[in-house]
Structure 1
Amino acid sequence: MSTAEAEAVEEAKGGKKKLLIIVLVLVLGAAAAWWFLLRSPAGAKDEPEPGEVVALDPIQVNLAEGHYLSVGIALQTVKGAEELDGSKALDAVIELYSGLDQSELVKPKGRQKLKAELRKELAHLYHDEVMDVYLTQFVTQ
């Protein structure tokens, strides 16, 4: 084998190594992109799908200074949730709203804050089977 042929064989081996390295880098880059961009984060939950809405009968709650609140709620359950016992939700409403000043309830921000607290408490009481709460009646006097 002549030196020219040996150099040609050596260049072919070097070209194959470069091609192999380039392909390997591209595959690793694609795998890294999938890992960081496309896969769902570990432990991340998919947003639950809404299920049935359970409307509860309105109740009256005593407020401060002889006033009262007539409030009705409906519970938005998650899909596949067991049948809910509304007594826990009504108890949470009584606990949260009893004794409040009427002026706290007539302001939209006050109502929204109390509704958020109620939503959080219901998620805890029903082990995340309730995803939202709707006020279906809200009358103070």
Structure 2
Amino acid sequence: MAGKGSDDDAAEGSKGGRKKLIVILVAVAVLVLGGGIGAYFAFFAGSSDESAKPEPTPSAVVPLDPITVNLADGHYLKIAIALQTTTAAEEAVDGSKALDIVIAQFSNLEVAELATSKQREAEKAELTEKVVEAYTEEEVEPVMAVYFTEFVIQ
């Protein structure tokens, strides 16, 4: 009988060894997978932050002379804008492009399309996007915002 007891102990020992081996293999797999995920975020996901361009730094505000734009039905819009330049602007910004965009955007609009502040803000956001795009050259943004300094509808 003594021989039978030692066989049971050997069988339990081999089962315990297998369990330990499985636990060790699972732990190693988790560590390797975790290391791989960590390496991915460290090397690949972090590189997208480096490629993001930095926020432009505001510089001088360049006021432009007011212009009068023809609206629909014989109405007029007297509008003056100012361009918020950035430190990337190497020289004084010429307002000709911006004024041309203002004329193109506001010409022949209905008075009702400019009557509320919400509508004016929507037009201003669209104008700002167009002006910034027009002045942007080779990833350099010399203009970052457009301000209405005069806005009179007649």
TM above 0.5, one fold?
A: yes
Question: Alpha-carbon deviations, 1:31-74, whole Å to 9, x = none?
Answer: 88876998871311111100111000010000000000000000
For structure 2, the 5+ residue unaligned runs are 1-37
**In the alignment, structure 1 residue 86 sits paired with structure 2 residue 99:** no
TM-score by length of 2: 0.66
- What residue number does 2:54 align with? 46
Give the superposition deviation at 1:124.
1.2
Taking the TM superposition and a 5 Å limit, the aligned residue runs for 1:57-136 are 57-82=65-90, 83-127=92-136, 128-136=141-149
Structure 2 Cα separation of the partners of residues 33 and 80 of structure 1: 32
Structure 1 Cα separation of the partners of residues 56 and 43 of structure 2: 24
Give the superposition deviation at 1:108.
1.3
Give the superposition deviation at 1:106.
1.4
Structure 2 Cα separation of the partners of residues 138 and 90 of structure 1: 14
Question: Alpha-carbon deviations, 1:52-104, whole Å to 9, x = none?
Answer: 11000010000000000000000001113031111111110000000000111
Larger Rg: 2
Deviates more, 1:77-86 or 1:47-56: 77-86
Q: Which amino acid aligns with 2:76?
A: Y
Indicate the structure with greater helix content: 2
TM-score by length of 1: 0.72
Over 6 Å off, 4+ runs? 30-40
* Percent identity for Structure 1 against Structure 2: 51
Structure 1 Cα separation of the partners of residues 78 and 116 of structure 2: 16
Give the superposition deviation at 1:110.
1.0
Give the superposition deviation at 1:132.
0.3
Taking the TM superposition and a 5 Å limit, the aligned residue runs for 1:22-37 are none
Structure 2 Cα separation of the partners of residues 36 and 84 of structure 1: 38
